C-alpha cells in the first residue's frame, strides 16, 4: 500500500510517501523543510512563527513529495499525520491539511503520536539496509548474523530510550502499541539540555549538533588543569528509572559565569561540550542498562532527535553488546533520528495493519483530534 504522511509538530514541515507491505516499509519520497534558521534568531522555537511557516510550506512540501515520486492522489491508500504531542499552532496546520486531503480524496486518515513515529523510525527499510550490509546501525546478535534480523520480526518486549527536544523516556513496548512508561525526566528533556547548554556557550540552535561537534573536537592533552571541569551525573544511581537534566545545565551555567572570559577560548568550549555530553550519555546509558536488567527486553531501541548523537549511539551499543549480548540493538538511520514524516508513515502502516476497524479511519477527516499533550496509548 502507498501511505502519504505529514509531520508538523515542531519546526520541521515534512511529508513522505512510503510503500509498505509484508516485507516492510520502503520510503519512496521524503521531504523535510526545516525552520532552523528562522528560530535560531530567538534561541528556540516560537510556536506562532512555526505555524506561519508550516502554513506557507505545507502544500509545496506535499506537492514536492508527490511530484518526486510521480504519485498522484489516485495511488494513495492511506494518509497519516502527527496529531500530537507538540505545539498546537504547528500541529493544527498538519492535521487540518491531512483532514482536508482525506475528505477531498476520500482516503482513510490515521493520527500518529509523534514519539510512536520516532520508535517506528527504527523499522524503515531494514531489509534493504541489511541486504546492502550498510546497516552498521543494528548491532547483530553475537551468535546469529545480521542476516537473521528482518523488519517484520519485531522482537518484543522492546525497551525504548526516547530522547528528543520534548521527551526523555524509557518506554517498555510489550507488543505493538502496548506501551508502559517506566521512566521519564522530572524536568528538562535531554535534547532541551543540549539546546540550553548550547545557548549558554553561544553555540546557537539547535544545540545537539553544535555541542556534539565541539565535543568531538576536544583533545584531552588540552584539558584545563586549573578548572578541573567535570559535571555531575544527575540521578544516575537513583533507584528509579527517572532522569533529571536541569541541574546539569545549571552546573554548566555556574562554571561559565565564573569564567566568562573563557567563552572565546576554543579549548574551553570543546572541553565543556565534551564533559557535558559525557555526563548526559553516561546517565542515559546507565539508566537504560538498569531498565534492561529489570525488564529483560529482547530488543533495545534508541529513538528521537538525540539519537543522532554519535557518542550516545556508540556508547549504548557497546554497553549492550557487553552486558546483554543476546539483545538486539536498533537505532534509526541518522536522517530518521530527527523529525521527519517517514517515521509517521512507518508507524501508520503498523497501526493500519493491526487495526480491526479499518473503516473508522474513513471518518477521521471529521473525528481526528489534535492534542498538545497526546498520550502514548493503544
Ligand atoms: O526529535 P527531534 O528532532 O524533535 C523533537 O521531537 O523534539 O529532536 C530535536 C532535539 C533537539 O533538542 C536537538 O538539539 C537534539 O534533538 N539533537 C541532538 C543531536 N541532533 C539533534 N542532540 C545531541 N546530539 C545530536 N547530534
Ligand atoms: Zn521528535
Residue 166, ligand 1, Cβ within 6 A? yes
Range 192-209 average pLDDT: 96
Range 31-44 average pLDDT: 90
Please report which ligand is nearest the Cα atom of 165. Answer: 1
Please report which ligand is nearest the Cα atom of 337. Answer: 1
The β-bridge relationship of strands 168-175 and 178-184 is antiparallel
Range 130-162 burial, b when 16+ CB lie within 10 A, else e: beeeebebbbbbeeeeeeebebeebeebbbbbb
Protein residue with least CA distance to atom 26, ligand 1: 309
Contact by Cβ (8 Å): 282, 319: no
Protein residue with least CA distance to atom 18, ligand 1: 208
222-225-226 Cα angle (round to 5): 130
Question: In sequence order, what E strands does 51-184 have?
Answer: 78-84, 109-113, 158-163, 168-175, 178-184
Please report which ligand is nearest the Cα atom of 305. Answer: 1
Residue 165, ligand 1, Cβ within 6 A? yes
Residue 234, ligand 1, Cβ within 6 A? no
**Which residues, chain by chain, have CB under 5 Å from ion ligand 2?**
164, 339
Question: How high does pLDDT run on average in the chain?
Answer: 91
Residues 6+ apart with CB under 8 A from 79: 3, 4, 5, 6, 98, 101, 102, 105, 107, 108, 109, 110
**pLDDT tens track for 72-121:** 999 999 999 999 999 999 999 999 999 999 999 999 999 999 999 999 99
Range 313-330 average pLDDT: 92
Give the pLDDT score at 41: 86
Residue 108, ligand 1, Cβ within 6 A? no
In this predicted structure, the answer to whether residue 128 has a pLDDT above a threshold of 50 is: no
Protein residue with least CA distance to atom 8, ligand 1: 305
Atom of ligand 1 nearest to the CA of 9: 6
CA 219 – ligand 2 centroid, Å: 31
Contact by Cβ (8 Å): 201, 262: no
Protein residue with least CA distance to atom 23, ligand 1: 208
Among 338, 342, 343, 373, residue to substitute to test ligand 1 (most atoms within 8 Å of Cβ): 338
Please report which ligand is nearest the Cα atom of 204. Answer: 1
**pLDDT tens track for 162-185:** 999 999 999 999 999 999 999 999
- Closest C-alpha among 104, 112, 124, 86 to residue 8: 86
- Closest C-alpha among 84, 116, 135 to residue 332: 135
CA 219 – ligand 1 centroid, Å: 24
Q: What distance in Å separates the CA atoms of residue 301 and residue 136, rounded to the nearest whole number? A: 14
Range 210-224 average pLDDT: 95
Of the listed ranges 35-49, 130-144, 287-301, the least confidently predicted one is: 130-144
CA 260 – ligand 2 centroid, Å: 33
Residue 191, ligand 1, Cβ within 6 A? yes
CB atoms within 10 A of CB 166: 18
CB atoms within 10 A of CB 199: 16
Atom of ligand 1 nearest to the CA of 12: 3
Protein residue with least CA distance to atom 22, ligand 1: 208
Among 206, 332, 372, residue to substitute to test ligand 1 (most atoms within 8 Å of Cβ): 206
Unique residue bearing C-alpha cell 542476516:
147
Give the pLDDT score at 187: 98
CA 112 – ligand 2 centroid, Å: 12
DSSP conformation class of 376? P
Give the pLDDT score at 153: 61
Binned at pLDDT 50, 70 and 90, residue 135 comes out as very low
Range 295-303 average pLDDT: 95
Protein residue with least CA distance to atom 1, ligand 1: 305
Please report which ligand is nearest the Cα atom of 211. Answer: 1
Residue 85, ligand 1, Cβ within 6 A? no
Amino acid at each position: 500500500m502507498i501511505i502519504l504522511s505529514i509531520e508538523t509538530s515542531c519546526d520541521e514541515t515534512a511529508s513522505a510517501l512510503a510503500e509498505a507491505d509484508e516485507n516492510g516499509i520502503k520510503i519512496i519520497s521524503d521531504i523535510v523543510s526545516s525552520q532552523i534558521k528562522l528560530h535560531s534568531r530567538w534561541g528556540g522555537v516560537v510556536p506562532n512563527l512555526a505555524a506561519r511557516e508550516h502554513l506557507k510550506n505545507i502544500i509545496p512540501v506535499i506537492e514536492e513529495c508527490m511530484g518526486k515520486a510521480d504519485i498522484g492522489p489516485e495511488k494513495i491508500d492511506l494518509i497519516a499525520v502527527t496529531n500530537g504531542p507538540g505545539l498546537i499552532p504547528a500541529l493544527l496546520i498538519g492535521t487540518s491539511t491531512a483532514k482536508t486531503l482525506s475528505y477531498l480524496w476520500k482516503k482513510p486518515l490515521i493520527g500518529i503520536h509523534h514519539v510512536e513515529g520516532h520508535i517506528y523510525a527504527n523499522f524503515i527499510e531494514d531489509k534493504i539496509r541489511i541486504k546492502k550490509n550498510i546497516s552498521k546501525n543494528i548491532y547483530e546478535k553475537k551468535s546469529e548474523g545480521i542476516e537473521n534480523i528482518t523488519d517484520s520480526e519485531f522482537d518484543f518486549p522492546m525497551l525504548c530510550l526516547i530522547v528528543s527536544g520534548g521527551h526523555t523516556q524509557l518506554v517498555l513496548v510489550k507488543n505493538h502499541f502496548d506501551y508502559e512508561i517506566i521512566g521519564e525526566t522530572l524536568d528538562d528533556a535531554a535534547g532541551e539540555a543540549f539546546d540550553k547548554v548550547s545557548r549558554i556557550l553561544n553555540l546557537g540552535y539547535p544545540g545537539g549538533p553544535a555541542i556534539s561537534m565541539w565535543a568531538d573536537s576536544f583533545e584531552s592533552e588540552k584539558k584545563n588543569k586549573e578548572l578541573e571541569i567535570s559535571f555531575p551525573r544527575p540521578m544516575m544511581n537513583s533507584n528509579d528509572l527517572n532522569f533529571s537534566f536541569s541541574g546539569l545545565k545549571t552546573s554548566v551555567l555556574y562554571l561559565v559565569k565564573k569564567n566568562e572570559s573563557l567563552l572565546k577560548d576554543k579549548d574551553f568550549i570543546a572541553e565543556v561540550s565534551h564533559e557535558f555530553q559525557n555526563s548526559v550519555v553516561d546517565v542515559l546509558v546507565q539508566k537504560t542498562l538498569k531498565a534492561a536488567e529489570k525488564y529483560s527486553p529482547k530488543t533495545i531501541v534508541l529513538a528521537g532527535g538525540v539519537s543522532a548523537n554519535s557518542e550516545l549511539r556508540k556508547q549504548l551499543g557497546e554497553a549492550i553488546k557487553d552486558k546483554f549480548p543476546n539483545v538486539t540493538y536498533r537505532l534509526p538511520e541518522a536522517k530518521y533520528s530527527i523529525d521527519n514524516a517517514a517515521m509517521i508513515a512507518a508507524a501508520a502502516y503498523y497501526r493500519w495493519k493491526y487495526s480491526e476497524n479499518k473503516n473508522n479511519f474513513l471518518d477521521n477527516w471529521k473525528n481526528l483530534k489534535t492534542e498538545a499533550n497526546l498520550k502514548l496509548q493503544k
